[in-house]
Amino acid sequence: MATPPRYWTPAYIEAFVEAINDDDRFQEMASSFSETIIFRCLDTPDGEDMEASYIFQEGEIVDVDLWVDDAPSEELRGEPFKGRKALARATAPYALWCRLDRGEIGVMQAMASPDYHVEGSKLRIMTHIGIISRMGDIAAAVKKTY
């Protein structure tokens, strides 16, 4: 049996994409969802900043643009959010992503943290909150190490 990938690595992201695309409940609820969602993780254990842009077509992730740079990456951290190209972008340090993933804090607690930043139209994001919440549930269920 292979060792599960570590959270916020390319191998983990690959496993997450597979889990999303294989989740019947997600596919049903997101069947008309064609958007891009960006997650950024700062200061991974490998000393990197990472950005994963998940591109959805009719509920399926059809592409992931992955950006990895040495932390702190001025280029990645300074990249302006392009709201016309993505529904939302969430940025947090690795430790906060881990707390969310383990269920130690909820999304509302994370959003209240000065270390968690969400960009994008709040109205559009709230329209798709069920889909975004299901993504978090699936992410938490993917076998991984921290």
pLDDT band at 36 (very low <50, low <70, confident <90, very high): very high
Residue 72 lies in a domain: yes
Residue 66 lies in a domain: yes
Burial of 136 (0-12, 13-18, 19+ CB in 10 A): middle
Q: Mean pLDDT over all residues of the chain?
A: 95
Give the residue numbers spanning the domain of 94: 10-141
Give the model's pLDDT for residue 1.
66
Give the model's pLDDT for residue 106.
84
Tell whether the model's pLDDT for residue 117 goes beyond 70: yes
Decide: 144 and 12 in contact? Cβ < 8 Å: yes
pTM above 0.85, yes or no: yes
Residue 1 lies in a domain: no
Residue 101 lies in a domain: yes
**Total domain count, the chain:** 1
Could you report the per-residue pLDDT of 74-94, keeping only the tens digit for each?
A: 999 999 998 889 999 999 999
**Residues 8, 11, 16, 17: is their CA dihedral positive or negative?**
positive
Residue 5 lies in a domain: no
- At 46, give phi and psi (nearest 5°): -85, 5
Tell whether the model's pLDDT for residue 141 goes beyond 90: yes
Residue 146 lies in a domain: no
Q: 50: domain CATH number?
A: 3.30.1050.10
Residue 4 lies in a domain: no
Residue 2 lies in a domain: no
Burial of 47 (0-12, 13-18, 19+ CB in 10 A): exposed
111 or 22, which is more confident: 22
With a pLDDT cut of 70, the percent of the chain lying above it is: 99
